[in-house]
């Protein structure tokens, strides 16, 4: 039965010319490379992290005003990175509390700032070394 169906098929190509062989090999090599190049140039459009915006606002040359800390805390609270979110909100809360505190030595603020600085640096935003 298979012989009767095979009789209606076109004849197979037994010999390819040198030009057709080179064209086939070139296409077989170029197609995956082109696909890799196109897929490699595609960038995902993830929105920038709001915690990085908090790092940027604290790393500017001028110090943040006391009224800016609730906004900066909100930026850190919206971060997708746990370490940045925790360190940023803790530092902003402490900075807000220290506005009204009397007689503190500031060591706690330095420690919180160092922790926040390490978290920001881990994600590519270095803070200035002073509070």
Q: State pLDDT tens for residues 7-56.
A: 777 666 667 788 888 888 888 888 887 778 777 776 665 667 888 888 88
Residue 115 sits at the vertex; the CA angle it makes with 109 and 117, to the nearest 5 degrees, is: 95
* Cα–Cα nearest to 75, from 107, 51, 98: 51
- pTM for this model (two decimals): 0.58
- How far apart, in whole angstroms, are the C-alpha atoms of residue 56 and residue 52? 6
């Amino acid at each position: 039965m298979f012989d009767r169906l095979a009789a209606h098929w076109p004849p197979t190509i037994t010999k390819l010319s040198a030009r057709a062989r080179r064209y086939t090999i070139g296409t077989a090599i170029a197609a995956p490379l082109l696909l890799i190049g196109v897929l490699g140039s595609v960038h995902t459009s993830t929105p920038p992290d709001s915690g990085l915006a908090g790092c940027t606002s604290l790393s500017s040359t001028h110090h943040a005003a006391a009224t800016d800390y609730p906004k900066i805390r909100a930026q850190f609270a919206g971060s997708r990175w746990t370490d940045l979110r925790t360190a940023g909100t803790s530092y902003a809360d402490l900075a807000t509390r220290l506005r009204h505190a009397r007689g503190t030595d500031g060591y706690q603020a330095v420690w919180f700032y160092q922790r926040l600085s390490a978290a920001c640096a881990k994600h590519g935003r270095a803070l200035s070394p002073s509070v």
